[in-house]
Amino acid sequence: MKNQSEKTVKLRKDAEKIFRAGLAAVEPGAAIHKFCRRSNDTLHIGNKNYELSRFDRIHVIGAGKAAAPMATAIEEILGDKISDGVINVKYGYVSKPGKIKVIEAGHPVPDQNGKDGTESIMDIAESAGKNDLVICLISGGGSALLPLPAKGITLKDKQDTIKVLLSCGASIDEINSIRKHISRIKGGMLARTVYPAALVSLILSDVVGDDLDVIASGPSVPDSSTYEDCIEIIRHYEISDRLPEIVYSHICKGASGLISETPKPGDPVFEKTVDLIIGSNMEAILSAKKKAEGLGYNTIILSSMIEGETKHVARVHAAIAKEIRKTGNPLPAPACILSGGETTVTLTGNGRGGRNQEFSLAAAMDISRDKDIVVFSAGTDGTDGPTDAAGAVADTKTVKRALEKNADPRTFLSNNDSYNFFRVIDDLVFTGPTNTNVMDLRIILVA
């Protein structure tokens, strides 16, 4: 038996229930069914209605780790109304075969399968006429699973380009600007190809802030960056000599007007596009919140956009929990703090762990002088770093229990060995693969 108060035992059970409720809201099939409904000839997508009989054909395309269950759900809704379809998924992420062809491809490193699949997807987009509807299913991993470099550029050129940009310290926005300008599908290029058919993108967001132009590098949305911007970035970081020659010359040609720009805001190709986020970190948080309220907790959503170094982010969460205990701010106990997003771990050791396990470990150290606080952090995809755990749960006695087993939390934290820390005290959280990914979910309960 663990040395836990009755209250803590209940908090731990509640935290898991709240997490499960969050997960349920972003299960890909459930998310599709929540936003897409069919009644006879009418397809309701979000707050839009489509008369199916007005379309000559309906095509389904897409990519991402959750694309297969999303496609299954779309087939459940549209059945034989679907003319054809191709989606790219990560190796092993397939579902039972239907009308939509599922192509397994490389992730996170794109491969030839991915490129071949993306060409099939673009063939469908190209074939769609003005009385057609194209439904595009996008989820985490969509960018790597939709590799289609501009003419003459190989997958290797593209990877080398990203490596150069990462090593010179370019920001994620800068990297995305260049990525979009050396692709035939990203940065709104898919929308241009689909046009004049109608394009509805159903998106499961794995990106902090849910920016449509960032998710899968924005194949269906306007690109506000330009070839000129790319030249500026290359100049600023002085990397013209380090980029693959074909990439640099492509961008120079684009900036000289020899290659047409990605479609910009206001471009007519976006007149018939709709982008709908059907699952996101906030969707999971809102569902978790409802559950927490049902369990009797005063609940606060801190933010779905939390970033930063995990152990310090954890300290801020712990400080809020301690303040709840001490003064009832920002809300009175019994309280549930919810937050999401994706933090980072800067490795200083060679242990095993993940963001969520490290979060719970760091928080455990800060709450160890308090009582009846539970910290639960887990990845919604069911995997946390290179481990088989989704995350870990901690309470105010976690440090004490670990010390009794000669596990010093400071040593494990500085060695980034949160997995083995929580294994010692049997507090890892396992969910198995969830088929979804809307980043991480953190639940802090104060009795």
Residue ranges that bind its own copies, judged by CB under 8 A: 169, 209, 282, 300-309, 311-313, 315-316, 319-320, 322-323, 326-327, 329-330, 341, 366, 410
Q: Which one-letter amino acid corresponds to residue 105?
A: A
Report how far residue 172's alpha carbon sits from residue 344's, in angstroms, rounded to the nearest whole number.
14
Choose between 234 and 302: whose C-beta lies nearer to its own copies.
302
CB 407 within 8 A of CB 393: no
Cβ neighbours of residue 190 closer than 8 Å, sequence gap 6 or more: 122, 125, 136, 199, 219, 220
Residues 6+ apart with CB under 8 A from 39: none
3 state DSSP class of 279: strand
CB of 197 to its own copies, least distance (A): 31
Q: Which residue has the tokens 């937050």?
A: 339
Q: Where are the alpha helices (DSSP H) in 369-433?
A: 398-404, 409-414, 418-424
Closer residue to its own copies in complex, CB, 115/401: 401
**CA separation for the pair 180, 326 (Å, rounded):** 50
Beta carbon nearer to its own copies, 70 or 337: 337
Q: In angstroms, what is the minimal distance from the CB of 359 to its own copies? A: 12
Q: Given the complex with its own copies, which of 52 and 316 has the nearer CB atom?
A: 316
Inter-residue contact 18 to 292 (CB < 8 Å)? yes
Least Å from the CB of residue 371 to its own copies? 14
Q: Which is nearer to its own copies, 179 or 317 (CB)?
A: 317
State how far the alpha carbon of 371 is from the alpha carbons of 46, 280, 356, 368, 410, in Å. 44, 33, 21, 8, 20
Output the 3-class SS for 393-405: EEECCHHHHHHHC
Supply the minimum distance, in Å, between the C-beta of residue 311 and its own copies: 8
Q: Which residue lies nearer to its own copies by CB, 258 or 403? A: 403
Q: What's the min distance (Å) between Cβ of 339 and its own copies?
A: 8
Closest approach of Cβ 214 to its own copies, in Å? 11
Q: How far apart are CA 278 and CA 44, in angstroms?
A: 13
Q: How far is the CB of 60 from its own copies (least distance, A)?
A: 30
Pick the closer one to its own copies by CB: 148 or 407.
Answer: 407
Q: Who contacts 156 (Cβ-Cβ below 8 Å, separation ≥6)?
A: none
**Closest CB 310 distance from its own copies, rounded Å:** 9
* Token representation of residue 111: 């491969």
Backbone torsion region of residue 345, taken as left when φ is above 0, otherwise alpha when ψ lies between -120 and 50, otherwise beta: beta
- Residue closer to its own copies (CB basis): 231 or 338: 338
Q: Name 211's Cβ contacts closer than 8 Å, sequence gap at least 6.
A: none
The residue behind tokens 């593209």 is 158
58-63, strands of its sheet edge to edge: 101-105, 82-90, 58-63, 133-138, 198-204, 273-279
C-beta closer to its own copies: residue 68 or 445:
445
Toward its own copies, which CB reaches closer, 84 or 323?
Answer: 323
Least distance to its own copies from the beta carbon of 303, Å?
4
DSSP structure class, residue 388: S
How many Å apart are CA 304 and CA 291, to the nearest integer?
A: 17
Q: At closest approach, how far in Å is the CB of 284 from its own copies? A: 13
Shortest spacing between CB 366 and its own copies, in angstroms: 8
* Shortest Å distance, C-beta 318 to its own copies: 8
Residue (119 or 307) nearer to its own copies, CB: 307
**Inter-residue contact 380 to 436 (CB < 8 Å):** yes
Q: Which is nearer to its own copies, 179 or 311 (CB)?
A: 311
